Structures are given as structure tokens and as C-alpha cells.
Amino acid sequence: MNRSLITVAGVLLASLSAALAAPPAGAAGARTTFVIDTQFVPGPSAIVSATGPLSSCTSALDLEGDGVETGPRTVLFSGVKLLQCGSETVTVSYEASINLATGRRTSGTWQVVDSTLAGVESGGGQVKGDAARCTIQAGSDGCILDTFRGSVS
């Protein structure tokens, strides 16, 4: 009986290892990264760098945004951003959380919800924000440097 239990445990461990090594669902597509110097102002914020299919994007406008306390020191931010990419646009939604006890960094996910940019119909990935890495511009109530990494197709 112990030998059977060890065999079953070995099979489960091998299956778990294979699952963890497999690429995440939705990983197909072209890799992309874009970094937004998000300023807390009514207008657009600059995209300070971008690679891959979103490399033509230069600014981001917050269409929606909300922050909800989810615990005594945690906040969940969600929203929608309109990326301006030449004469085309890409709309992305995001959710990111912060634990105020551990610093000024956020982490979460993003996804494409609409696009007129050729080659970008869907996709998403991870977003990380760091309020210590941005410089507040005149007239802004604050800022955060948001780095979006993922794949689009």
C-alpha cells in the first residue's frame, strides 16, 4: 500500500511540474511591453516606452478608474485606458492591487477590450506599478509608473 501511495504521489508531482512548466493560457501572440508615466490629471499620460505591436502608442487616457478598499491596508484599482497609437487606438482594462503596508507598488493584470490597431484584437498580461519611480508633474495630484507586459494578437 505504501508503494502505491508513493507511485500516486510521484505521478501527481510529475503532473504538477509539467503544468507549471507549460506556458500560461493566452500566451500565444506577439510579445509587447508598454510603460505609462501615469499622472493623476484629467488629460492623457505619456507612454514613455513601448515594444512589439504597441510600439506606435504614445499616450494613454484614463476612461474609467476606481479604487476599492479590500482590507485594512489593501486597495484594488480597476479601470480602462485608451492608448493612442498614431491614428489608431487600443482600449485596455486592468485590475491591480496594492498592500499599503509593504510600499507603493501595485500588481495585477490587463487585457485588450477593443482595438482599431492592425494586428491587435486580443491579448493581455501582467501590470506592475511603482509610485517611487515616477516624477510628479506640475498640476498633478500624484503619479505612478505602470509597466504592462504581455502578448497581443
Give 16-28 pLDDT, tens digit per residue.
333 333 334 444 7
Residue (of 150, 128, 132) closest to 53 by Cα position = 150
For residue range 72-99, list pLDDT tens digits in order: 999 999 999 999 999 999 999 999 999 9
* Percentage of the chain lying above the pLDDT 70 cut: 82
pLDDT at 39: 95
* Confidence label for 102 from pLDDT (cuts 50, 70 and 90): confident
* Confidence label for 103 from pLDDT (cuts 50, 70 and 90): confident
Over residues 147-153, mean pLDDT: 98
Angle at 90 between CA 84 and CA 96, to 5 degrees: 100
Each domain of the chain, given as residue ranges in start order, spans: 29-152
Over residues 5-13, mean pLDDT: 33
**Of the ranges 24-38, 102-116, 130-144, which one carries the lowest mean pLDDT score?**
24-38
Q: What is the mean pLDDT of the chain?
A: 85
pTM of the model: 0.80
| Share of the chain residues as helix, strand and coil, in percent rounded to the nearest 5 | 15, 55, 30
Q: Quick check: 136 pLDDT over 90?
A: yes
Q: Where are the beta strands (DSSP E) in 52-122?
A: 57-69, 74-85, 88-99, 105-115
